[in-house]
Amino acid sequence: MNATNDPEQSTAAGCIIEARDVVLSFGRTPALQGASVSVGPGEILAVMGPSGSGKTTLLHCLAGILTPAAGEIHFAGRRVDTMGETERSTLRRDRFGFVFQFGQLVPELTAEENIALPLLLGGTRRAAALKEAGTWFERLGLGGLEKRRSGELSGGQAQRVALARGLVTRPEILFADEPTGSLDSLTGEQVMDLLVDAAREQGTTVILVTHEPRVAAYADREVIVRDGKVNSLSADRLAS
């Protein structure tokens, strides 16, 4: 892992996504106060910070879920913050992937249908989408669970299904918000191993929000969000 103390550093190939001086408040409560960060293609970035620091808000701004009141969001040379909602929705569907803390699987769908869902929403025919979804089960240690619904899966199994759903379209960027927060330590480590391996194999950039150092250790680089701003790494991480 190549740590650096510059929160705005990206890889030598340039950045694929960037926040510049982003400001956003919820009512009178400031969430981001001039946050800036850039992420290189293929990089795994851990965004750390205490609860309420603004790290999830920053993730949502980068992903085009929230629009900042000031500042800019750039992805692949385009301004995300000035796009209309339809264009941002298309971006999230076609070029981004998402994994959340509790998986957020659709309970009415089977595991294979949940994985296939982004492909189906993108216009892939059902048979082809399910065939592609099926390739993930042995890969993630889920063989035989294709027809189970979320209520029939353990927490770790459900999160692996959510991971496959986030990566099945081979997104350019995967946004992961506390992806191991609902799991025990061992299962969380297994999920992170799978996430990193799959992202590396596909060349996917990963932006990972976490408050757990053991999860952040899987990243190439860490930044800390405090009081709505992006700060440098902690001293003990810099020494590693």
pLDDT of 232 reads 62
pLDDT of 107 reads 93
pLDDT of 191 reads 86
pLDDT of 10 reads 39
Residue numbers of the chain with a pLDDT score lower than 70: 1-13, 102-103, 232-240
Distance from C-alpha of 235 to C-alpha of 240, rounded to nearest angstrom: 9
The DSSP-derived string for the chain is: ----S-TT---TT--SEEEEEEEEEETTEEEEEEEEEEE-TT-EEEEE--TTSSHHHHHHHHTTSS--SEEEEEETTEESTTS-HHHHHHHHHHTEEEEETT----TTSBHHHHHHHHHHHTT--HHHHHHHHHHHHHHTT-TT-TT-BGGGS-HHHHHHHHHHHHHTT--SEEEEESTTTTS-HHHHHHHHHHHHHHHHHHT-EEEEE-S-HHHHTTSSEEEEEETTEEE---HHHHT-
Question: Domains plus CATH for the chain?
Answer: 1-93+210-231 (3.40.50.300)
pLDDT of 2 reads 39
